[in-house]
Amino acid sequence: MSTIEQNLQAVRRSIAQAADQAQRPAADVMLLAVSKTFGADAVLAAADAGQTAFGENYLQEALDKIAAVQAAQPDAGLEWHFIGPIQSNKTRPITEHFDWVHTVEREKIAVRLSEQRPAELPELNICLQVNISGEASKSGVAPADLPALAHAVAQLPRLRLRGLMAIPEPETDPARQRAAFAQLRQLFQQLRDGGLALDTLSMGMSADLQAAVLEGATIVRVGSAIFGSRNYS
């Protein structure tokens, strides 16, 4: 058994334990393997171990990797999620190669994604990134501006608004981890109460996935706990 397969099993056990504690089915939580900085060989090893959904932050790296994976395993049926910052001039390749985008924070970007999504592809699944901690350095729409953005994006063709995403300020205390995720869940519920058919909370990473699952995460984004430490050089 490969190290990646062993790590995947351990992460899935952590998700299952948290889901059990929250009295939720573990199947309600999608594990998104964040493969940024790792090569196509790591993705293929994870796919061989049953992993189907992969998250990428850097567009050109992702496009090269997607092409390499598809060349090696044309019938793998993998799902690709873009989880990095979106530049206006990079929206077209995102619409052409990804199934999900988690990091929409401006209506302008959503409009470009809508206009550029190829007609032969299914609707592009969208999460709105919320700056839940109010950090100046962090991307995301402010909670006060979220309802207007959500209702605008929900009207755009070729897109399907699925829910919210957040990367809270790093926190080691489980109670504080949960408090940040509870904030996002409350915003999510307010939008649902306002008539939006949302079903996705993308929150939680390697260090805080259990707190996220306890607060209702439906997607957890896990990288280093699956693939190991990253080398950004």
Structural tokens at position 194: 């306002």
Residue span of the structural domain in which 160 resides = 3-226
Strand partners, 124: 159
Q: With bands split at pLDDT 50, 70 and 90, how would you rate the model's confidence at 134?
A: confident
d(CA 47, CA 64): 17
Q: Are 180 and 168 in contact (CB under 8 A)?
A: yes
Encode pLDDT of 196-212 as tens digits: 999 999 999 999 999 99
Nearest Cα to 191, choosing from 141, 134, 144, 150?
150
At residue 130, the 3 state secondary structure works out as strand
Please check whether residue 233 lies inside any domain of the structure: no
Query: How many structural domains comprise the chain?
Result: 1
Mean pLDDT of 31-54: 97
d(CA 182, CA 99): 27
Mean pLDDT of 170-184: 96
Structural tokens at position 5: 């397969």
What are the backbone dihedrals phi and psi of residue 15, each rounded to the nearest 5 degrees, phi first? -65, -45
Please check whether residue 42 lies inside any domain of the structure: yes
Structural tokens at position 96: 């052409």
More confident residue, 135 or 22: 22
Encode pLDDT of 217-227 as tens digits: 999 999 999 99
Mean pLDDT of 149-166: 98
CATH at 66: 3.20.20.10
Please check whether residue 72 lies inside any domain of the structure: yes
d(CA 94, CA 66): 12
User: Is the pLDDT score of 130 beyond 70?
Assistant: yes
**pTM (two decimals):** 0.97
Mean pLDDT of 153-180: 96
User: Is the pLDDT score of 233 beyond 70?
Assistant: no
Q: Which helix (H) or strand (E) holds 76?
A: none
Please check whether residue 75 lies inside any domain of the structure: yes
User: Is the pLDDT score of 195 beyond 70?
Assistant: yes
Please check whether residue 231 lies inside any domain of the structure: no
Mean pLDDT of 111-123: 98
How confident is the prediction for the chain on average, in pLDDT?
Answer: 96
